[in-house]
Structure 1
């Protein structure tokens, strides 16, 4: 089942004809044998440089196509385009000697824009904007001049998340952070990146002298071992399928949690096969008992990546 299909060979035929190099990678993007590969990469020499085309083997869709200055394809020099598993555009960028140049964009897997910025020598020149998956503005970072930048962020429900200034790349002056109900969660005063003082408030607006601004990732309430056990107990091996050359199915998914620790979206980023991927998504979404991530004394959204490997029954 993991061998290339005729359809995939036809899809890559134009590349293979002029091919200089053919590489295969596993779900972790580590070099591997074709029988264990999740990605196939083809590199050809052109008049403009080396073109690398990466494909998702599972669905024969292109994952990335980019122009490089070197045969090893380490120095991006020209347009690079990435795609989601479903074929939607993921991001577009132009590079000059491995640094972004000009207008660059990225998109969520539902087609909504994720971020947009204009770059010069790898640095944002004016304004960086980003959006949540539902289209609500997430971040606005604007350079007022060569040294001062203003940053404002919002939650997915449109409520303010944080606001403040950078001077010379360092937080400076008063920064404010909010709970997702619009109430102040934290105020901090900085002097060129050094935190001078901070105050913290609960979701009702009452000052909390025992709170901290520490950041923590989302964690499963019953512990990681319990989460793993529950998730794997929910995985169902598709009855009609039998693997050859391997007995392990690997799917990688990104799981999106909101500020309440609820799963709002799960997205396949490394596919195996639609039936297997569906089983993984159902199993991952069924484990919905999370302690939310926190930062600056408030609950925040969080994205985690799960690599799920399950074995073929005997």
Structure 2
């Protein structure tokens, strides 16, 4: 079994986590190989480890970006990914209803059954969880440029981003559905339901149904933002529109901040999106 650790994710020291996983593996008579990511050719190095050792499972201690990297490194193989949440927000772990503690997650990661999850291709890049254009991506850009990590850092940058809010952009969405053109504050490309903060943005999201949702937030005043944060997503209103599909083209009148799975990707004015069915096996409770 391979353990992939992102040493810097979530701003947390991983020494205790590695010790706990090592001890659990020893008690289970499992040979554990530990790989610490460095940001230098990690996907290629994980590919080599996976091919060389052919493990049945790879454990991932990190956030959504680390999970996605391992998923890309192991595509077209039969390995099961076990998640040990250790990022700033851990969005996929929240959506999979994984427990809060490492002790509870270890037996799931080592032994439990799995879901065959879809992924999404956006301009050729892969997304496993939630990507978006607009307000949240702008917040992530500000978060990446700040020095405060974790949920406090996200909260501070949410306030700063709202204070410096740009004008709405105009979006056109085309596909196998009536074309939508409107002003918007944010477009979410969702393979799941919740952000890592626990905020539900796509209540109908299912990660293995062969479809994704485009959640169009036309208005993001404090009332609507408050409803979303408190879990009362305003589905039947003029503020939000949700499109469920397997492919779509999203264009905007100006370049808009864009992020994939919590990683800022610059500004985009065109997203070519399609579903990638049953791309990874991930252990579930």
TM-score for the superposition, normalised by structure 1 = 0.25
Q: Which has the larger radius of gyration?
A: 1
- Flag the structure with more relative contact order, 1 or 2, with Cα contacts below 8 A and sequence separation at least 6: 2
- Name the structure with the higher helix share: 2
Which structure has the highest strand share of the two?
1
TM-score by length of 2: 0.26
